[in-house]
Amino acid sequence: MEKKRIESFEDLRVWQKGIDLVKEIYLRTKEGELSRDFGLRDQLRRASVSIPTNIAEGFERYSRKEYLNFLNIAKGSAGEVRSLLRVALEVGYLDQPTYTQLYNQAIELSRMLSNQIQSINQSLK
C-alpha cells in the first residue's frame, strides 16, 4: 500500500486530530457553567488551539530542529489541556463522560506528538 505524500500541515493526521479536539472543546465550552467561567474557558480554548497551531507553524519552518521545537510546544499544550480539563471536572463544570472523552482525545494527541518527536530526533542523529 502506498503512503500518501505529506505536502502541507493539513495532511498531517496529528494536525487533523488537533482540530477535532479544538472543535470539541469549543462545543463543550459554549454552554453551562464552564461557559460563564471566562478565565478557565478561555484558557482551555487557547491551550487547545495552541496544539494544531504550533504543529502548523513548525511544519512551515525551514528546519527540522525548528519543527521539533514547535512539536514540543504543542505537546506541552496537550498537557495543559489535560490539566485544565481535570480542573473543570473537579469544580463540577464537566461530567465524567465528557471529561473522559476530551481527556482521551488529548492523550491520543500527546502520544502522536511523542511519536513524531521521537522520529525527528532519530533522523537528526
Condensed to tens digits (0 to 9), the pLDDT of residues 72-114 reads 999 999 999 999 999 999 999 999 999 999 999 999 999 999 9
Domain that holds residue 23: 19-124
- Please report, for the chain, how many H helices and E strands are present, in that order: 5, 0
Provide the grid cell at 101: 472523552
Instruction: Answer yes or no: is 6 within a domain.
Output: no
The verdict on residue 11 lying in a domain is no
| Residue 118, C-beta contacts closer than 8 angstroms, at least 6 positions apart | none
Q: How confident is the model at residue 2 (pLDDT cuts 50, 70, 90)?
A: low
Q: For residue 2, tell me if it sits in a domain.
A: no
C-alpha 93/C-alpha 88 separation (Å) is 5
Check residue 92 and give its pLDDT.
98
Q: Domain holding 77: CATH number?
A: 1.20.1440.60
Statement: residue 33 has pLDDT above 90: yes
Largest pairwise CA distance in the chain? 49
Q: Is residue 13 part of a domain?
A: no
Q: How many domains does one find in the chain?
A: 1
